[in-house]
Amino acid sequence: MKRIAVGTEKGAYLLEGSGSSWTVDGPMFPGWKVTAFGQARDGSQLAAVGSNWFGIGIHRSRDFKEWSELESAPSWPDGEDRKMEQVWTFHGDGDRLWAGVAEAGLFTSDDGGVTWDPVPGLNEHRTRADWGPGFGGLCAHRVLTSGDRIWAAISAVGCFRSDDGGATWEPKNEGIPAVDSADGGERPEVGYCIHGLAHDPAQPDRMWRQDHLGMFRTVDGGDTWERNEEGLPSGFGFVIWRHPGTGRLLTVPLHSSESRVPVEGRLRAYASDDGGDSWGVAGEGWADSPQFTGVLRGAFDGDESGLFCFGTTGGKLWLTEDGGDSWRELAPAFPRIGAVRLVG
Amino acid sequence: MSVQVRLPRVLTDTAGVAPRHEAEGTTLGEVLESLFAGAPGLRRHLLDEEGRIRPHVLVFVDAAREARETTVGPDAEVQVLQAVSGG
């Protein structure tokens, strides 16, 4: 039996089952936006919630059914003009948990999420005054780690890398077009709208990046990026996900920054089996009818068994259980989906 | 001086706290601090980073919307409400 956690604008839901038989439990956290799921090293599950009225919170569970709110959560120091709007991502690395948040910043916890410390090397970066929000806000939405080398993706700002465990950070966006720079103008140090980031844990400097302005990859940890979007109907989208076993890359292209729905309503996951050299529609089973809906960066997950699942802004779930060869839409409908996580 | 504090269900259900609390204080700010002493997680949900009542949270004392500096009389009832907005 598989379990899929779904975070929506109105609560979280847990799907359990396989094949054509899935049960739905929820809503958990009724009335709250559920923005990210994570897992502490002791196996406990974490869910980040947010509210337009009551700020953010982090809840912990052993069974994904009974939850308790942790007393603390990432927070900016008292008196700050920065607002803690949302936890966008959790990333576990050994005993350390990372959280990426909006207003953009990173926090770490070494006690399973009970207490959180800011990462000043990034949060107070020398370029911080030049950070500006994109359409989705000013958010740190992805963290990847490999030993002391750490990457952070900040929307509308760029990719940052630390080579000293998070003490110091440098922007890593060479080869990426800046969102607002005029042709021929001097390249700004920040202002690169990274939407998604994935890497090969066995060769962590091999990375793929879904950017506002295209799909890119690097083989040197982000020092230089090159475009790789042959076969994609559009370079725009939010998702980039890599299967840890086969190396298959998956994305869900959307038409453009302006429309943010699939080209001609043809909702499809696209896959690359050659490291991004070429892309094609992943498998079969896609709807014939137009699907004018989006897929957000946190709403795609998968496991080694070949179960991949993504949720849409229209509140539907699509999944494959054979590594992307055959897809189907599940029957239940949910509020707008922003987070999907396969729960171990 | 003891006052009654009532919290909205959308907050109490998720935060795991009771909907009614006994709190102490002679100003609304003191009452809230007394409330937070027993339920620390509520501070983050009711106050912003600058210590102000969140913009979409309304706090009433005996049915009148009040600020933190408001004096709270004996046997007052403090009610926290969320703004009703959104789909």
B68 vs B59: CA distance, rounded Å: 9
pTM (2 decimals)?
0.93
The residue of chain A with its CA nearest to that of B11 is A54
Q: Cβ atoms within 10 A of the Cβ of A220, count?
A: 12
pLDDT above 90 (res A135): no
Q: What is the DSSP letter of A112?
A: T
Facing A78 at nearest CB: one of B49, B56, B83 = B49
Strands A86-93 and A67-69: unpaired
Which residues lie below 8 Å from residue A202, measured CB to CB, with a gap of 6+?
none
Tens digits of residue pLDDT in B63-73: 888 788 888 88
Residues of chain B numbered 4-63 and touching chain A (CB < 8 Å): 10-11, 13-16, 40-41, 44-46, 48-51, 54, 56-57
Inter-CA distances, B40 with A73, B60, B82, Å: 12, 21, 19
Helix segments in A12-129, DSSP class H: 120-123
CA–CA distance, B51 with B32 (Å, rounded to integer): 11
Average pLDDT over residues A260-279: 97
Contact flag A75-B14 (C-beta cutoff 8 Å)? no
Q: How far is B71 from chain A (nearest CA, A)?
A: 24
Q: Is the pLDDT of residue B47 over 80?
A: yes
Q: What is the structure's pLDDT at A128? A: 95
pLDDT digits 0-9 by tens, A9-25: 999 999 999 988 999 99
Tell me: pLDDT of B1 over 80: no
pLDDT band at A321 (very low <50, low <70, confident <90, very high): very high
Structure tokens that stand for A164 in this block: 């000293």
Residues A243-264: tens digit of each pLDDT: 999 999 999 999 988 889 999 9
